[in-house]
Amino acid sequence: MITVQKAKSIIDQYLNQLDSEVVLINESSGRIINHNLEATFPFPRFDNSAMDGFAVRSIDTVGASQEHPASLKVIGISSAGVPSDLTLNPGECIQCMTGASIPNGADAVVMVEHTSGFTDNDTVHVFEETHSGKHIRKMGEEIQKGDALIVKGTRITPSEIGVLASFGHRKFSVVKKPRIAIFGTGDELIEPGEILDDGQVYNSNLYIFADLVKNLGGHVTMKNVVKDSKESLNSFLSKALKTSDVIISSGGVSMGRFDYVRDVYIGLGVKEHFWKVAQKPGKPLFFGTKKGTLIFGLPGNPISAYIGFMKWVWPALESIMGIPKSKPITGLLTEPFPRENCKYRYLFGQAWFENEKLLCKPTGKIGSHMLSSSLSANCILGSEQGENPLQPGDKININVLPWKHIK
């Protein structure tokens, strides 16, 4: 049995980033961008109007008011997408719409509300004095050419999609989705929808795994419940080893008579890097590799499988997908936390803010078979080994479940 730290450092040695592929912007949601993106032009790309109004020479409006408007000659229109190539001479102005390019010679825009309005007349009355730059969005005021826009490893959300589109990217390069095979083993397992017989339980773990993979942005390529027999395991795994970047299993890696998963892996040429980690739940964790494939064998108790996935598999998947590590956070316990003498202890927990402090507590029902303890959880709490339980007020590590929020 090795420590949690040692196990992490072993896994780290085998994490290689996945290749890239080009995707269309419409299909890029949730993908991970694999390069730093820079602005290829300034933004705004040209001086343009922030208002519907008149582009003027501000000097021509000096002293203008409701009682003494400035009379300007209207020489044309600049509208969004149809710029005017006219140049303003003294006493002239141009109707200029929001987003339209500012004509040569103009240095301000007067809102149409402060004029006699858009008409077909040759002249407009301006009721307000303006100053140079007013209502003009200057070229490059938001972004200069070459500015960093999106950092490598960022997940694409509506904000990234918007910025990519603003810079004209119809397709771009992202990290390939990891191809993931998941399986559960157990003769007692049946699928939801079937009728339970004596001693049977519904397979829940593979549904958890599949949803976690989906959440993270991986691709489940194989998914099956496999019988506790060497033949069934062999046939699933020999195919999975050829077609997957990662294989994740639940069950069959403990000390039971019918726990064949480890033997079968080894028989198929998987190199075992460790089996058994000083942690609770999930001690009989198996980690191995074959060529580029990472193999995680998690025990079958639903909480061991779920927490094991979050603590071991999720960070490994993030790493091969090029997602930067999230920073560890700590909170203050409001209830005791049961530490273990010689094992790292994880429990589902609740974390919340109160009086500007981050507080937390385990969710209760702490048995590793008690899946309902995850229902009210928004995090996993984790503590190093220790003689006595941690007490209210003590600090503890918090790992927020990425799809939950701390309120």
- Nearest-CA neighbor of 74 among 65, 41, 60, 319? 60
What is the residue whose two structure tokens read 């600090």?
Answer: 395
Q: What is the DSSP track for 171-201?
A: EEEEEPPPEEEEEEE-TTEE-TTSPP-TT-E
Toward ligand AMP, which CB reaches closer, 250 or 279?
250
Which residue of the chain is nearest ligand AMP when measured via CB? Answer: 300
* Contacts of Mg ion in 149-188 (CB under 5 A): 186
Toward ligand AMP, which CB reaches closer, 3 or 204?
204
Toward ligand AMP, which CB reaches closer, 98 or 204?
204
CA distances from 119 to 62, 77, 83, 252 (A): 23, 11, 19, 81
- Collect all residues with Cβ–Cβ distance below 8 Å to 286 and sequence separation of at least 6: 253, 261, 262, 265, 272, 274, 275, 295, 296, 297, 298
CA angle 344, 346, 348 (to 5 degrees): 175
Beta carbons of 243 and 221 less than 8 angstroms apart: yes
254 binds, among ligand AMP, Mg ion, none (CB under 5 to 8 A by kind): ligand AMP
Q: Which residues sit at the interface with ligand AMP, rule CB under 6 A?
A: 184, 186, 188-189, 201, 203-206, 250-252, 254, 256, 299-302
Beta carbons of 337 and 393 less than 8 angstroms apart: no
Toward Mg ion, which CB reaches closer, 252 or 349?
252
- Nearest-CA neighbor of 250 among 344, 368, 399? 368
Toward ligand AMP, which CB reaches closer, 33 or 182?
182
Toward ligand AMP, which CB reaches closer, 301 or 383?
301
CB-CB neighbours of 30 under 10 Å: 14
Largest CA distance in the chain: 99
188 binds, among ligand AMP, Mg ion, none (CB under 5 to 8 A by kind): ligand AMP
385 binds, among ligand AMP, Mg ion, none (CB under 5 to 8 A by kind): none
299 binds, among ligand AMP, Mg ion, none (CB under 5 to 8 A by kind): ligand AMP
CB of 267 to Mg ion, least distance (A): 18
List 251, 282, 299, 308, residue binding Mg ion (CB under 5 A): 251
133 binds, among ligand AMP, Mg ion, none (CB under 5 to 8 A by kind): none
Q: What is the DSSP track for 239-295?
A: HHHHH-SEEEEESS-SSSTT--HHHHHHHTTPEEEEE-BSEES-TT-EEEEETTEEE
Toward Mg ion, which CB reaches closer, 12 or 231?
231
288 binds, among Mg ion, ligand AMP, none (CB under 5 to 8 A by kind): none
In angstroms, the CA 62 to CA 104 distance is 20
CB of 300 to Mg ion, least distance (A): 5
Backbone angles phi, psi at 61, to 5 degrees: -105, 5
* Contacts of Mg ion in 252-311 (CB under 5 A): 252
End-to-end CA distance of the chain: 38
CB of 335 to ligand AMP, least distance (A): 27
CB of 364 to ligand AMP, least distance (A): 20
CB of 313 to Mg ion, least distance (A): 19
CB of 191 to ligand AMP, least distance (A): 10
250 binds, among ligand AMP, Mg ion, none (CB under 5 to 8 A by kind): ligand AMP
394 binds, among ligand AMP, Mg ion, none (CB under 5 to 8 A by kind): none
- Collect all residues with Cβ–Cβ distance below 8 Å to 267 and sequence separation of at least 6: 230, 234
- The residues that touch Mg ion, with contacts defined as CB under 5 A, are 186, 251-252
